[in-house]
Amino acid sequence: MQPQDASAAAAIAAIAEELAVFDDWMDRYQFIIELGRNLPRFPSAWMNEAHRVPGCQSQVWMQGAVRDGVTWLAGASDAAIVAGLIALLLRVYSGRPAVEILQTDPAWLKELGLMGALSTNRGNGLAAMVQRIRAMAAEVSASS
């Protein structure tokens, strides 16, 4: 997924502004679900155990690739809200150098109220997705 913001920090700030437009979490959920509907198509060949993110209540698959020092990410889920959460993560982390990914503390998810607004299972799944992204970035960073 191509980044639409200049940096991970800019993406987080833009997401915060977008979420602040809505008065309640039901409207925010609808916004997040719509983001998930607009995710790039995830190849069905990647919807396998090798790409599955364990620890998620629903089915989640993620794939990463590195080109010219930049980490590109893709993801999908069989649950609408989770697909939207993937879209948020990809907006922040995809198209960034590994070092930027590792320097971007996932605390932004809590600071924006996302972790508190999700069920425990969904929150654990979101944490597992972030862990997968950070692990991919750490591998890239270690091999550089």
Sheet of strand 70-77: strand arrangement: 60-67, 70-77, 96-97
| Packing angle of the helix pair 25-37, 80-93 (nearest 10 deg) | 70
Catalytic residue among 12, 56, 73, 126: 56
Domain assignment present for 2? no
Walking along the chain (144 residues) 10 residues at a time, the average pLDDT comes out as: 91 98 96 97 96 93 93 96 98 97 97 94 95 93 78
Domain assignment present for 24? yes
pLDDT at residue number 50? 95
What is the model's pTM? Answer: 0.96
Domain assignment present for 22? yes
The CATH number covering residue 103 comes to: 3.90.1010.10
What is the chain's Cα-based Rg? 14
Q: Is 12 assigned a catalytic role?
A: no
Residue 68 structural domain: 8-143
Q: What separation in angstroms does the CA of 80 have from each of 5, 38, 59, 99?
A: 24, 11, 11, 30
Number of structural domains in the chain: 1
